[in-house]
Amino acid sequence: MAYETLIVETHGAVGLITLNRPQALNALNSTVLRELLQVHEAFQADDAIGAIVLTGSERAFAAGADIKEMQPLGYVDVYSRDLMSGWDDVAKVRKPVIAAVSGFALGGGCELAMMCDIIIASETAKFGQPEITLGVIPGMGGSQRLTRAVGRYKAMDLILTGRMMDAAEAERAGLVSRVVAAERLLDEALEAAAKIASLSHPSVLMAKEAVNRALETTLDEGLRFERRLFHSLFSTEDQKEGMTAFIEKRKPAFKNR
């Protein structure tokens, strides 16, 4: 299927989505949102896909929500359409998503990266929430996800001043999982995704669910939730295979069952 704003490929068990609006530094408009949701749904339904990589261009992962699309809108327009709410569904994809970020990840671009599960950044990446300089505030989760990722004081600094931080600062702050040389970015992300996709898919989905639960609940409830998921994995063939393979000193052959 051809998309207007995305390039979609598969690399073995990994789905690769490349944002493709070079003329607007991959600014996120309603077409990008609609197409991303379609691709996520297709990858989610495809049993052969175990992980997804989302990337942009060398110059920009995404320079934010499309300012030209938003500029003429009034309160009633954005309120009645519940503008930006569709992005919540992008964050709900159950398979792991790795953001491979080069260049600008600003505003909605930074927020889109934060909807992913692992952020691998090139040394050239720049993150920021510059909405305040446009007379608005983050609207795709920035004030919530950035604060959870880097803490209140760093989040306030970025959101109140609108300044950008480079990859090294983003890694120190805990927003970025790994920083790699620009030329290694896509390979590093695809290799990490291939590793994840080679593991037992039910345990991967549950690991993602368990980590995300940590952000939403108390420690006590989170520990109970983790333990119940852990227990439930003992009903899978892959638990027997994984542990037997360890004892027999061979690689496991997971069946995702």
Residues that bind ligand CO8 (CB under 6 A): 24-25, 27, 63-68, 78, 83-84, 104, 106-108, 130-131, 134, 136, 138-140
CA separation for the pair 16, 233 (Å, rounded): 28
In the complex with ligand CO8, the residue whose CB is nearer, 85 or 212, is 85
Q: How many C-beta atoms lie closer than 10 Å to residue 235's C-beta?
A: 8
* Angstrom distances, CA of residue 40 to CA of 85, 144, 162: 16, 23, 30
Token pair belonging to 80: 């009645």
Name which of 54, 27, 61 is nearest 39 in CA terms: 54
In the complex with ligand CO8, the residue whose CB is nearer, 135 or 251, is 135
CB of 67 to ligand CO8, least distance (A): 4
CB of 138 to ligand CO8, least distance (A): 6
CB of 55 to ligand CO8, least distance (A): 17
CB of 83 to ligand CO8, least distance (A): 4
Contact (CB, 8 A) for 255 and 238: yes
In the complex with ligand CO8, the residue whose CB is nearer, 68 or 251, is 68
* Angstrom distances, CA of residue 255 to CA of 49, 200, 202, 241: 13, 7, 10, 9
Residues acting as catalytic residues:
65, 108, 111, 131
In the complex with ligand CO8, the residue whose CB is nearer, 83 or 229, is 83
Q: How many C-beta atoms lie closer than 10 Å to residue 76's C-beta?
A: 8
